Structure 1
């Protein structure tokens, strides 16, 4: 019997090895076949109730998806308390459960897919710097965060919202794999839709729980230029240098990718550090052209990949405002680029 066992053993091992080699050498553009791509924007919750017709301008661009972003608040990046109150009506209307529902109802009735994407707002910091100083505080923080995300998971389930993002840019917490797997398991108990996590572009390669999710989510603010006013070729070459890192993760976890956020300001330095907030660019020269070129470079590279399941551009206002500079493509050359590719 021993030779027979060895024969089957080596045969099985050979099949596994062959499967691995076939997967490893598949052309990158054929790694993961997705169905229709989600053509999305990050919808800004408005101060006041929608008046009607706000979705029409978005539909005209060819968009078929939005993310909605309610907030929880953390007073300090190193303390475990998280505040959120689903019944607090003093928040902006669009971020309340009633506003989220109304936005969902009005957009879903027009065929627009919604993703619930709660964020944490850390005072004087950003979510990627949230980190506890001892194990006791880590335990409290994860218990609080689980309560926060489960409340929104239940709301998403009640609304039959098709997609939920369980966390955004929590880079110094996502390395705690055991805790995040436990949260994802609890979310699955109350929410039946598709789930992702929005990892910062500096974080996604280190996340180890992608297998527990439906999509690899990336906050795709990759630097694309070293100086102001780059040309399209420079931007496309930069994308080609970043894409292999994403494809390596796709090969490992065999999951499609969502760019849960991507965006560029209408300034000459937009491609250098795309993540920089507009209020830090007040002395920078405006440029619709650079913003539009950044959009075009994305569509001509990453968007064409078969593993790309969708994108959400930061950001889109129900009513266009005049604050400048800003990330929104509304009323700018970038909107025309976005529309041209979304409508193809």
Structure 2
């Protein structure tokens, strides 16, 4: 899907043929047809698919999952993932398999065991979980695999992660990435073992009541310095494994906040679209930028407000403009 050239030491890697992606929401029922024609019309050429494993609590070492199960949504099952892959590829849209952990009452960034014994058990369980999906990805020829997402309190355990990466490489021959939270990526020491530096790019862009494009672009300058420091050290291209903004007036302040936690936030297509514009103006043309996946895209269209999806909104128009320009 692209080619990497490495400049001399200390300079930046260059990536061509960017991944113009969206985070595809697995549907309850099989696709009805036409979903990928609509996505292709935006200029998108990539999706990520996200099945789930389930963890009872942030300090629980147990993980439950089923690649195929009768309690899953169709789009998150192995069968649904393969059909979605086939449908996407018929429109020249590539796939990344990006399994997540769903943690009761929390999020993956808070997963932290209370003892070394529990950490060992958790990593054993997590390795089995991700290898099951690596086997699926290899069997059906998914070209990209994300081996973990926002597991911030585990990623300092470098040797445990290197063991997982080596085990995945034994099974899966495609490209692999880890999706580090925007507060995490600078601290990771195993980027050299992966094909990409992956960032969940929910960086704050402005704390102004009425943010402007200039405010946001200035904020990106600071974030880009941090990203480029890591790129220079590890000489790897970057994928924004997720980036997204709610259609609310406070979207630029705390992009990571879920819609149902935004209280009485005022709906604003304009601010959401400005956030998209700032990303494309500030980041998209960087030589090390291998691609980005916008959170999120519903096969059947957006049906609630507020929401992260750009579908049918001014943000989609911005995305389409830049995706089609390349």
Q: TM-score normalized by structure 2? A: 0.96
Q: Is the 8 A contact 2:62 2:122 kept in 1?
A: yes
- Tell me which stretches of 4 or more aligned residues in structure 1 moved more than 2 Å: none
Q: Which has the larger radius of gyration?
A: 1
CA distance in 1, matches of 2:94, 2:232: 27
CA distance in 2, matches of 1:208, 1:306: 22
- What's 1:104 paired with? 85
1:42 to 2:27 alignment:
no
CA distance in 1, matches of 2:316, 2:302: 15
1:225 to 2:225 alignment:
no
CA distance in 2, matches of 1:165, 1:85: 18
Is there any run of 5+ residues in structure 2 with no aligned partner, and where?
A: 1-7
Superposition RMSD in Å: 0.8
> Following superposition of structure 1 onto structure 2, how do residues 28-107 of structure 1 map, counting pairs within 5 Å?
31-107=12-88
- The 3-state SS of whatever aligns with 1:343 is helix
Q: Is the 8 A contact 1:221 1:275 kept in 2?
A: yes
Q: Is the 8 A contact 1:71 1:95 kept in 2?
A: yes
1:168 to 2:165 alignment:
no
Following TM superposition, by how much is the alpha carbon of 1:109 offset from its aligned partner in structure 2, in angstroms? 1.3
1:309 to 2:277 alignment:
no
- The 3-state SS of whatever aligns with 1:304 is coil
- The 3-state SS of whatever aligns with 1:339 is helix
- What's 1:265 paired with? 246
- What's 1:256 paired with? 237
Following TM superposition, by how much is the alpha carbon of 1:87 offset from its aligned partner in structure 2, in angstroms? 2.6
Q: Is the 8 A contact 1:282 1:325 kept in 2?
A: no
> Structure 1 residues 133-142 or 86-95, which shifts more?
86-95
Following TM superposition, by how much is the alpha carbon of 1:321 offset from its aligned partner in structure 2, in angstroms? 3.2
1:211 to 2:206 alignment:
no
> Following superposition of structure 1 onto structure 2, how do residues 194-205 of structure 1 map, counting pairs within 5 Å?
194-205=175-186
Q: Is the 8 A contact 2:96 2:145 kept in 1?
A: yes
Q: Which of 145, 160, 165 in structure 2 is aligned with 1:184?
A: 165
1:288 to 2:263 alignment:
no
Following TM superposition, by how much is the alpha carbon of 1:137 offset from its aligned partner in structure 2, in angstroms? 0.3
Q: Which has the higher helix share?
A: 1
> Structure 1 residues 196-205 or 79-88, which shifts more?
79-88
- What's 1:238 paired with? 219
Q: Is the 8 A contact 2:53 2:100 kept in 1?
A: yes
- What's 1:247 paired with? 228
CA distance in 2, matches of 1:105, 1:232: 39
Is there any run of 5+ residues in structure 1 with no aligned partner, and where?
A: 1-21
Following TM superposition, by how much is the alpha carbon of 1:110 offset from its aligned partner in structure 2, in angstroms? 1.0
Q: Is the 8 A contact 2:302 2:309 kept in 1?
A: no
Q: TM-score normalized by structure 1? A: 0.91
Q: Is the 8 A contact 1:40 1:313 kept in 2?
A: yes
CA distance in 1, matches of 2:194, 2:303: 38
Following TM superposition, by how much is the alpha carbon of 1:86 offset from its aligned partner in structure 2, in angstroms? 1.9
